[in-house]
């Protein structure tokens, strides 16, 4: 349980994987569509974007770059299980950020702390109190890092997925940001204006890894139970990628 001690380590120790500036505005990697001009709340000049994975972040990242918003990715997702799945999702996210010249903060895995906080919620349903705990935990660390490193606004790619409850996510984001007088949570609806469709488009274009469950051990357990009921094989980690079915 030594990872519990990592809660006391200042987030300033998190390594910055990519420190290049955003220079993607004139490259063909930004999908050529008419996106609205995005503006950060309160006239802020930069954003700390919590990223859950590359597929959910692809459209969000390219939309921000198209609007010339200065932002940094913060990857803190101790819910993802097992380690193999975590590393696939994280490394793919790092690669995509590097391709776009976006700074990437690789935060602590902190998995033991996540399981400790999830005690008593092991059989709660998706979108229930366990998910709120999970969002709270991730936003708390994102807001802390933003506070310590001068980011006035935080947001997340979590809300672009239609599998998630956007109100639940935004409530957790606002709650975390409210702990710091200098931090605002940006609850922009990344799904609107075709955002969800472009998320799939970019995932296929980049041939992203296609995760088949939310990420946590209990989601994996419940998804595999459902698959057994339907006569389907259990999930195989690291096998399925976007675009495979189109070939």
Query: What average pLDDT does range 206-216 have in this prediction?
Result: 96
CA 53 – CA 104 distance, rounded (Å): 12
Amino acid 193: pLDDT: 87
Candidate from 15-24, 63-72, 208-217 with smallest mean pLDDT: 15-24
- Determine the structural domain holding residue 96 and report its residue range: 2-201
Predicted confidence at residue 243, as pLDDT, reads 87
Number of domains, the chain: 1
Q: What CATH number does the domain containing 75 carry?
A: 3.40.50.620
Average pLDDT over the chain, rounded to whole? 89
User: Is there a domain that residue 217 lies in?
Assistant: no
Would you say residue 109 has pLDDT above 60? yes
Which residues carry a binding-site annotation for [4Fe-4S] cluster?
A: 52-53, 131, 134
Residue 214: inside a domain, yes or no? Answer: no
Alpha helices in the chain (DSSP H): 54-66, 83-99, 111-117, 129-149, 166-177, 195-206, 217-229
User: Of 35 and 23, which is predicted with more confidence?
Assistant: 35
234, part of any domain: no
pLDDT-derived band at 184, boundaries 50, 70, 90: very high
Q: Can you say which residues are annotated as belonging to the binding site?
A: 52-53, 131, 134
- The reply to whether 225 falls in a domain is no
pLDDT of residue 124: 97
């Amino acid at each position: 349980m030594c990872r519990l001690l990592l809660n006391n380590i200042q987030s300033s120790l998190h390594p910055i994987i990519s420190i290049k500036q955003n220079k993607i505005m004139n490259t063909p990697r930004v999908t050529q569509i008419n996106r609205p001009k995005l503006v950060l709340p309160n006239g802020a000049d930069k954003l700390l974007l919590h990223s859950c994975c590359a597929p959910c972040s692809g459209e969000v990242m390219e939309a921000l770059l198209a609007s010339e918003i200065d932002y940094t990715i913060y990857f803190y997702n101790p819910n993802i299980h097992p380690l193999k799945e975590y590393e696939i999702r994280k490394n793919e996210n790092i690669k995509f950020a590097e391709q776009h010249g976006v700074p990437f903060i690789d935060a602590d895995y902190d998995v033991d702390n996540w399981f400790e906080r999830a005690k008593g919620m092991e059989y709660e349903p998706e979108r229930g109190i366990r998910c709120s705990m999970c969002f709270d935990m991730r936003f708390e660390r994102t807001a802390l890092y933003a506070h310590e490193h001068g980011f006035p606004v935080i947001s997340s790619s979590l809300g672009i997925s239609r599998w998630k409850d956007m109100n639940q996510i935004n409530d957790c984001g606002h709650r975390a940001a409210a702990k710091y007088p200098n931090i605002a949570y940006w609850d922009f609806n990344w799904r609107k204006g075709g955002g969800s469709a472009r998320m799939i488009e970019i995932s296929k274009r980049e041939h992203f890894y296609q995760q088949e469950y939310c990420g946590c051990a209990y989601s994996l357990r419940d998804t595999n139970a459902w698959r057994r009921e339907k006569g389907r094989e259990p999930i195989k980690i690291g096998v399925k990628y976007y675009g495979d079915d189109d070939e």
